[in-house]
Every structure is written in structure tokens, then in C-alpha cells.
A = this chain, B = another copy of it.
Amino acid sequence: MELWFTEEWLSGLKFSVRVKSIVFTKKTRFQDLAIYDTEQLGRILTLDDVIQTTEIDEYIYHESLVHVPLFCHPNPERVLIIGGGDGGSLREALRHPSVKEATLVDIDGDVVEASKNYLPQWNQGFSDPRANVVIGDGLAFVEKAREEYDAIIVDSTDPVGPGESLFTEEFYRNVRRALRPGGVLSAQTENPILMPLVVKEIFHKIKRVFPIADLYTAPVPTYPGGWWSFTCASLGPDPKKPAREPRESWGLRYYSPAIHEKSFALGPKVERDLARS
């Protein structure tokens, strides 16, 4: 039997990976969850048939999403992760010894459970005493918070389905209010070559709400088009300047201070696409 998982990246563009075995599937309250083992990408997690994270490149995505905001902040103590039920962002946030509490709010408890059971590369953070896992609506959770977090990391799905509310200007205003003075936000903001208009729209929503906002990128082979953008917004620190360095013992695989600074170089086309009104 030959089994392929195929994802339609955009209408007329597909990405397929051969599946060695089906590890776990569940129709949750919110979405279709599946975990497969594949030859080329290792273990992968899909939601509604869209790849969320894979063994081969999750480190690039999570290190980029988490360490850029946490290293530009001088002393992040309280971190909030919205989404990210697989645990990869939590794992990275908890590497910072300054972090006293990392709260993860995911709407779908089944994703967190699946990670605890089947994603050993991702799930180490869940057993850390500084981790606080909340199953619930990120939008509602952030709405109630006032000046509570040094960093808020939006590790969402794409802006369709359950993740849609995490791309609204209202949400970003709530995030801003939930940040302590000098706090920072990071969010995944889609592919700048294949979806320039989507990237621009999200970026400008964030930029309207925050005094400082900069787009940065990283290669993520298993996301549509293989190049991914993130936005780091701030109430104080310069997103482009790392204030500290990771320790060698963390064993990071993608992030370094040089990668941090360079990830903000976008090239003329992306810069023009973002500037154009």
C-alpha cells in the first residue's frame, strides 16, 4: 500500500509527502487532527489537512518565532503563547532562564494531548513547572489581561477557520493592552512571495496598533513556498537588535544573533510590497 498526504498550498499548487504510517487521527471539537510518520519529513502534525509542524524543520519555525521577540527584550519574565498546542514554542520560550512563567492558551485540548502522547521532540515544555497550559479561546483570554506579559507569541494556524480571529486588529489591540510596558509581540504572518497581499494586510494591521513593527523571515521548507514571514512588534525594544545571546548548551539549530539581525533583511521587492498602499 502506498499512502500520500497531499496539501493544496494554493489553488493549483500542491505539496505531497509519502506516509510510512498513521500515528494518530481524531476529529476534535474544532478540526481534523492527524499525526503521520513520513520518510522525508519525519513525524508531521496536520490540522484540517494542512501541515502545522514537521520533525525536519519545526526548529527553524519555533526558534524564529520565539527567540527573536525574547532576545530583543532585555528581561522577559512572563510569556504568553496563543495557539502552539504542539508545544514547540513553549519548549523554546522555557529555554530562557529569565522566564518565570510561560502560559500557553490553545483552543483545542486534543492538540495538546496528542503532543504529550506522540510528539516527544516538541512536548518537553509541558512538564516544566513554569509552564501553565490553558485550554480556551486565545482571543477571550487576551481580552481580559492587562499589562501582564513581557512577550506574547501568536503561534496560530492560517487566517481561515479556528485561527481567523487571531489576525484581526481587535485582537492585536487586546494583545497590546495585555503587554507590560516595553513588551513585545511576535506572530507568524504567512509567505511573502506566494501571498504578498495577505502578508501586507496582516503586517499593517499590527503596525497600526504598535509603535514599532518589523517583518522578518526564515526558510520553512514544509510551509507553502518554503519561505515564511513573521512580524515582531514592540512597545519599546528594537526588534532587530538582540539584547542577549543563547547559551551553547541550549543546542539551538537555527537561531543565532547573526541570524536574528539578518532575518530582517527582506530585499527590495518585499519591502516595496509592504510599503505600497
Which one of A10, A12, A59, A227 has the highest number of Cβ atoms from chain B below 10 Å of its Cβ? A12
Q: Which residues in window 40-66 of A have CB below 8 A to B?
A: 40-41, 56-57, 59-60
Nearest chain-B residue to A251 (Cβ)? B268
* A15 to B: closest C-beta gap in Å: 6
A259: chain B residues within 8 A (beta carbon): 265, 267
- Copies of this protein in the complex: 2
Q: What is the bound-complex CA distance between A108 and B123, given in angstroms?
A: 52
* A216 to B: closest C-beta gap in Å: 11
Query: Judging by beta carbons under 8 Å apart, are B227 and A253 in contact?
Result: no
Which one of A191, A258, A267 has the highest number of Cβ atoms from chain B below 10 Å of its Cβ? A267
Q: What is the bound-complex CA distance between A13 and B219, given in angstroms?
A: 17
Q: What is the bound-complex CA distance between A234 and B88, given in angstroms?
A: 40
Query: Judging by beta carbons under 8 Å apart, are B261 and A267 in contact?
Result: no
* A235 to B: closest C-beta gap in Å: 26
Residues of A in contact with B (beta carbons under 8 Å apart):
4, 10-18, 38-41, 56-57, 59-60, 191, 193-194, 217, 219-221, 225-227, 252-256, 258-259, 261-263, 265, 267-269
Interchain residue pairs A-B with the least CB separation, the first 7: A226-B226, A262-B262, A219-B227, A12-B18, A253-B269, A221-B225, A258-B265
